[in-house]
Amino acid sequence: MLAILGGTGLTQLTNLEITRRQVMRTPYGEPSGALTFGTLGGHEVIFLARHGYGHTIAPHLVNYRANLWALKQEGVKRIVSVASVGGIRADLVPGTLVIPDQIIDYTYGREFTFVDGTDRAVTHTDFTQPYTQSLRSRILAASRIADVSCLDGGVYAAVQGPRLDTIAEVNRLERDGADMVGMTGMPEAALARELGLSYATIAAVVNYAAGRGDSCNGVNLDNVGKVAQGVMAHVRTLLECVVECDGD
């Protein structure tokens, strides 16, 4: 089964035919909300709003471990994450969709692993390729079928939030090789890998990162909301095609 983890701007899937909702309990606490079961394009999926269905959970307070554990417990094998990002690279203008292939983790203080020394032996997880290539390829193929433009590849910088970055911080991210900046990419991707889940991200560029484009004197948050609303319509179309292309 495939699950969709919605981020900012995607607290609900309007094209999802909901069949039931289920409150979950995990050894790591409660997920961001009840799991929403339904069909998308006639195919069964599970949807979970990462920040809660009222968008009340800040990026650094998301219970990533509970979210991933609950999805795994319900038989999920593949997760498509939707994340809003700021564009650093010149071609990542607001409204662009990109499927990143690498990630840099700048977060801190988050519960970032299931290997916590309490009930399982220490293991080391290969994270050379943080996103599952087969799932990335499926999303890109679906984008061509659905005629939704997506850029292939990019480095996602995961920062702490919830505040946005300074120009100097974005300059550092760019020097490190980052193409976009978001707040929820880690530890979510690493936790999915630890659980053996396929995982890929659809990154929606909703603003220029600080010091880029029209964000040299600050990010217009009202405009970010308008861009997010528009680009998420394309995300919904793409997700429906991804689900149709999915198979066990």
**Residues flagged as binding site for phosphate:** 8, 50-51, 184
Cis peptide before 162 (omega within 30 of 0): yes
Is residue 79 within 8 A of residue 199, CB to CB? The reply is yes
CA distance linking residue 102 with residue 16, whole number of Å: 29
The token pair that represents 132 in the structure block: 């599952």
Which DSSP state fits 26?
Answer: B
- Please state the residue numbers annotated as binding site: 8, 50-51, 183-184, 207-209
Beta strands in 101-242 (DSSP E): 102-105, 151-152, 155-158, 180-182, 198-208
- Please state the residue numbers annotated as binding site for substrate: 183, 207-209
Tokens 């970055």: give the residue.
165
